[in-house]
A and B are shown apart, each in its own frame.
Chain A
């Protein structure tokens, strides 16, 4: 069982589940909205490929 307190190192992937798919969605006035699913998808794809390059020989 893992009990992640605020100071502990959380797994980035757990954090991104919440930060990219949770939270209140507001449209900032000068920025893109992360409600845009495509963008999140692109970003996660980039993540997967960068992680794979690190892990796979």
Chain B
């Protein structure tokens, strides 16, 4: 009888103790378990085999509420751990048939996990997003359309607005590249994500920077100061973190 499978959250050093995971709640409210195979340990919980089968997952990943519940539970476990110790978070919904298969993974990839943990040891991930407001009414071409017919004049005005909007975004993107390059100099690694769709993020402004940075503890004050005091051009910055090192605890061969 095997109607439960192992959901894997993260890999950490093998000295993880039960006391550190006692109060954690996992996906579906289940308890968190440790599978240690020195020098590393996996943090897992049992999930229903039916709900986490390949076909069910395909279906469930398109269910916003399901996706949100699992994502938040996953992040709760990972970020709790990350506040105490180095972790290599695993991608959402990685499931193994049983404990022995997780052990086998830890044995065969031990050196890769150790390398990933060493990359983030004593370091934290911070995120910076850059926005450009789209509220400025473009005034381009005013007056120059006087001699045109009303219809033609309207089209010309629309075209001018569109051009001005595009220019606005281009200028902000150039500013985003510049501040990103400044931040990169303060950090050990960085990763740029595609700007989020406004329909998803709920932001009114256009996102032109969506980046993650890996910082040694000693660089955090300066990094945060630079972001905080940034008041240049069209760009507005937003800082979040510290995050568990999702963007940086990757294994060789990962993207």
Contacts and interface: CB of A to CB of B under 8 A. Distances in A.
A24 B254 contact: yes
B45 interface: no
A25 to B, nearest CB: 5
B153 interface: no
B239 A2 contact: yes
Interface residues of B, number: 63
B91 A20 contact: yes
A11 B10 CA distance: 21
Given A18-B247, A47-B200, A28 B94 contact: yes
Given A13-B201, A17-B193, A17-B210, A35 B241 contact: no
Interface in B218-255: 227-228, 238-241, 243, 246-247, 249-251, 254-255
A18 B202 CA distance: 18
Contacts of B63: 46
Contacts of A20: 91-92
A32 to B, nearest CB: 5
Given A6-B83, A26-B91, A15 B239 contact: no
A1 B241 contact: no
Given A2-B240, A22-B247, A47-B67, A28 B95 contact: yes
Interface in B164-217: 191, 193, 196-197, 199-202, 210, 212
Given A1-B228, A14-B127, A19-B71, A25 B239 contact: no
Q: Name the prevailing secondary structure of the B interface residues.
A: mixed
Given A1-B227, A4-B240, A42-B62, A23 B67 contact: no
Contacts of A2: 238-240
A13 B228 CA distance: 23
Nearest to A46: B62
A46 B49 CA distance: 24
Nearest to B249: A24
Closest 7 CB pairs of A and B: A22-B246, A18-B246, A23-B91, A46-B62, A19-B92, A31-B95, A43-B61
Interface of B: 5, 8, 11, 49, 52-54, 57-58, 61-64, 67-68, 71-72, 74-76, 79-80, 83, 88-97, 101, 105, 109, 113, 116, 127, 191, 193, 196-197, 199-202, 210, 212, 227-228, 238-241, 243, 246-247, 249-251, 254-255
14 contacts: A13-B200, A19-B91, A19-B246, A22-B191, A22-B212, A22-B247, A22-B250, A23-B90, A25-B254, A26-B105, A31-B93, A34-B92, A55-B199, A55-B202
